Structure 1
């Protein structure tokens, strides 16, 4: 049975940082892979996990940039991998499995947002292909190492962007409808949340649990590079001087605050025996009710997750579709 989608409560909150939530946790002997671990919240996640004693591996499309960014994360490993290229994902996973190490933590933080319409070599829309299918393939290839850990956690980084779109199974790649960058982004983030639901259901018997997370709105990470300043102002993310707004109660967070929920999901003993849930503000999110939905979609700071993003039937269907698309 999937864990109830309701807060614990954890004792943490919107302003908690990654350092706050990992305090007192020793990861010596644990191995973590952090995609996107060389920028934004991924870099902060890699730093904090490494500081707690974990071996940290960062697969990166741009190896030189990753090594430069991780200079101060002593001992972090960088390996080449491009999520949108199946052969590259397979090669990375093959090298990791050949090392013989178990994998205790997999944080899927890499992603793209609101990009112009592009397609990969298979003809798949790039946001869905990168944010969801690339990570789906990565988890499948690393499965033996996750099981070998004897207790592993997978953390897909989703987003409040789920409000833009469910997974549109009849037209995943915008072949029959006009392309809209945020619809595609929303679909990919809903897919991340659904992936955690079904992955947890399938993996719990072998000790693999999954949690999706909304990190908050953190615009100084590079993820928002395709958005204009005007769009960011309209979203309330920039003040009248063009500076990032910092108000964690309204989801506008610093990088350390944005990394906190993912690190908590990856490491906290508070979540032992739980899984398959969407989390934010360092706790399990409540479901958005029908009465709350209009306010929630309007961009309010009301916490919660839309039911379609944690629906078990949709999650099972997405799993089967993803298997077919990734062969």
Structure 2
């Protein structure tokens, strides 16, 4: 397949922080929405965008918790939104659109990982519904504000979890196949990547570009709370005492490093005119060649994205399915 998955290079790397990549960027007058912007890398993303002058809106299911966390981000706005509740998504979008503000940056950072089998009120599997469908619906409802920006970027936080599997269009919600938490997570993260591909194709003529991001492994954000402790230790993400291991070359990052690629995709001027690509370590990822796939899967050191996660035909199909699922 032909692909835009070619590193620039950007001049940044795995150890770069969000503050480093935004240095010199002025976001005064820009508006950003950051889902998950009150914890983990989402909070750091919101903080850094705000520090560069952006008006930052953080949608949150738990308003009290969000407001407490965002006391460190003066001026950040908090509004109610539950990604598993379609009516909540619509209400948030309607309120934002009614404000008349354009939306320059949308960072989809909220997510859940490897949860036990849970379904929403529609019967949809929760990881797919939260990580992908909720963000799909949010972007669709906010589309007029993205277009009004006259140059907007959507950042979809994916993961190297794409390696656990692609999108199973025949059984999205594990109604027939056995439920495996990491397979479901992988499907949702592949969906995040495919979402960026098709959103970019549909939006580029109107100035809306999209990027998917692998932030790295940031073990102390709470995302891995459903992962057994022995699995976390086996991954090398913590030491014998259970303390986080920091080694950016192996994708084991701090929160500041983990937020860097999202911020880079949202703001770096070198990405003007680009989009629909999967990024990591503050650069565009190369495509993993078939002969390199086994080595890529065996370790986290080698950057890259699997072809099925950026396949334009799969992306178009997912978009159509998502439209039906979210009405």
TM-score bracket, shorter-length normalisation: over 0.9
Partner of 2:155: 155
Partner of 1:214: 214
The runs of 4+ residues in structure 1 deviating greater than 3 Å are: none
CA–CA distance in 2 between the matches of 1:264 and 1:53?
Answer: 15
Deviation at 1:296, TM superposition (A): 1.2
Counterparts of residues 136-285 of structure 1 (less than 5 Å)? 136-285=136-285
CA–CA distance in 2 between the matches of 1:114 and 1:23?
Answer: 35
Partner of 1:21: 21
Deviation at 1:317, TM superposition (A): 0.3
CA–CA distance in 1 between the matches of 2:56 and 2:117?
Answer: 33
Partner of 1:130: 130
Structure 1 residue 318 and structure 2 residue 323: aligned?
no
Deviation at 1:3, TM superposition (A): 6.4
Decide whether the 8 Å contact of 2:251 with 2:300 is kept in 1.
no
Deviation at 1:300, TM superposition (A): 3.3
Q: Cα deviations across residues 89-112 of structure 1 (Å, max 9, x unaligned)?
A: 000000000110000000000000
Q: Cα deviations across residues 2-43 of structure 1 (Å, max 9, x unaligned)?
A: 861010000000000000000000000000000000000000
Decide whether the 8 Å contact of 1:128 with 1:185 is kept in 2.
yes
Decide whether the 8 Å contact of 2:9 with 2:283 is kept in 1.
yes
Deviation at 1:240, TM superposition (A): 1.4
Output the aligned Cα RMSD.
1.0
How many residue pairs end up in the alignment?
327
Partner of 1:61: 61
Partner of 1:120: 120
Deviation at 1:227, TM superposition (A): 1.2
Decide whether the 8 Å contact of 1:3 with 1:275 is kept in 2.
no
Decide whether the 8 Å contact of 1:3 with 1:274 is kept in 2.
no
Partner of 1:44: 44
TM-score (norm 1): 0.99
CA–CA distance in 2 between the matches of 1:61 and 1:279?
Answer: 28
Decide whether the 8 Å contact of 1:156 with 1:193 is kept in 2.
yes
Q: Cα deviations across residues 143-172 of structure 1 (Å, max 9, x unaligned)?
A: 000000000000000000000010000000
Determine helix, strand or coil for the equivalent of 2:74. Answer: coil
Determine helix, strand or coil for the equivalent of 2:58. Answer: strand
CA–CA distance in 2 between the matches of 1:266 and 1:201?
Answer: 17
Determine helix, strand or coil for the equivalent of 1:122. Answer: coil
TM-score (norm 2): 0.99
Deviation at 1:269, TM superposition (A): 0.1
The verdict on how the C-alpha distance between 1:157 and 1:267 changes in structure 2, with shifts beyond 3 A counting, is same
CA–CA distance in 1 between the matches of 2:186 and 2:28?
Answer: 36
